[in-house]
Amino acid sequence: MAQSSNPNEKKVSARVAVVAAGVVSPLGVGLTETVDSLRKARDCVTRVTRFSVAQCRCKTAGQVPDDRLLAGKEEGRRGHRLHRASHMMIQAFKEVLTQEPQFKPELTVIGTTSGGMSYGEHYYRSLRRAEELRHAPTWIANYPAQKPVIDAEEAVGISAPCQVIANACASGTNAIGHAFECVRSGRYRRILAGGYDAVSEMVFVGFDSLQASTPEKCRPFDRHRTGMVLGEGAAILALENLELAQERGAPVLAEIIGYGISTDNFHITQPNPSGVGPRQAMERALQSAQVSANEVDYINAHGTATVFNDAAEGKAISGLFNGVPVSSTKSMMGHSLGAAGAVEAIFCLLALQHQFLPSNINFTASDDDLDLNIVANETRPTVLRIVLSNSFGFGGTNASILMRSFKA
Partner 1 sequence: MSLAIAGMGWVTPLGSGVDSVWERLLYGDEASATTISEEFNDRSYNVFRVPESVLKGAAHPRLRRASAISRFAAAAGLDALNAAGLKLDSQNVERTALIFAISNGGVIYTKRFYRDIVNEGAQSASPLLFPETVFNAPASHLAAILGISGATYTLVGDGAVGLLAIKMAEDLMANEALDHCLVVGTEEIDWLLCDAYQRWRLLCRAPPIEPFGKHKRGMILSEGAGAILLARLPRRSAAEAGEGSFTIECAHPGGYFSRRAEAEETLKRILRDLDQGEIDLVIASANGTFVDQAECGALRAVVPNAFVYTAKPALGESVGAAGLWQIILAAQALRSAELPPVLHAGSAVSLRLPLSRTPIARARHAIVLSCGLNQQAAGLRLAIR
Whether 291 and 401 have beta carbons less than 8 Å apart is answered as no
Alpha carbon 18 to its chain's center: 15
Cα 320 to Cα 71, 280, 287: the distances in Å are 45, 10, 13
| Residue 302 is a catalytic residue | yes
Q: Give the nearer residue to partner 1 in terms of CB position, either 135 or 385.
A: 135
Rule CB under 8 A: say whether 106 interacts with partner 1: yes
* Angle, CA 36 vertex, CA 30 and CA 38 arms, to 5°: 100
| Residue 87 is a catalytic residue | no
Whether 204 and 53 have beta carbons less than 8 Å apart is answered as yes
Give the C-alpha separation, 277 to 307, whole Å: 17
337-376 residues near partner 1, rule: CB under 8 A: none
Give the C-alpha separation, 95 to 271, whole Å: 36
Whether 85 and 197 have beta carbons less than 8 Å apart is answered as yes
Q: Give the nearer residue to partner 1 in terms of CB position, either 28 or 115.
A: 115
Give the C-alpha separation, 61 to 47, whole Å: 6
Q: State the DSSP code for 222.
A: B
Rule CB under 8 A: say whether 5 interacts with partner 1: yes
x/- map, 160-179, partner 1, by CB under 8 A: -xxxxxxxx-----x---x-
Contacting residue, 28, 195, 258, 396, with partner 1 by CB under 8 A? 396
Task: Mark the segment that binds partner 1 (CB under 8 A) among 50-58, 242-250, 317-325, 357-365.
Answer: 50-58
Rule CB under 8 A: say whether 265 interacts with partner 1: yes
Whether 149 and 111 have beta carbons less than 8 Å apart is answered as no
Q: Residues with Cβ < 8 Å from 27, sequence gap 6 or more? A: 33, 34, 37, 38, 42, 44, 332, 333
| Residue 178 is a catalytic residue | no
Element (H, E) at 13: none
Task: Mark the segment that binds partner 1 (CB under 8 A) among 80-88, 219-227, 264-272, 346-354.
Answer: 264-272
Among residues 44, 56, 162, 169, the one annotated as catalytic is 169
Q: What burial class does residue 265 get, using C-beta atoms within 10 Å of its C-beta: 0-12 exposed, 13-18 middle, 19+ buried? A: exposed
Task: Mark the segment that binds partner 1 (CB under 8 A) among 25-33, 128-136, 349-357, 366-374.
Answer: 128-136
Q: Give the nearer residue to partner 1 in terms of CB position, either 222 or 313.
A: 313
276-305 residues near partner 1, rule: CB under 8 A: 280
The least CB distance from residue 174 to partner 1, in Å, is: 7
Task: Mark the segment that binds partner 1 (CB under 8 A) among 141-149, 229-237, 342-350, 370-378.
Answer: 141-149
Q: Give the nearer residue to partner 1 in terms of CB position, either 86 or 359.
A: 86
Among residues 83, 87, 178, 302, the one annotated as catalytic is 302
Rule CB under 8 A: say whether 141 interacts with partner 1: yes
Contacting residue, 72, 79, 206, 319, with partner 1 by CB under 8 A? 206
Q: Give the nearer residue to partner 1 in terms of CB position, either 36 or 121.
A: 121
Catalytic residue numbers?
169, 302, 335
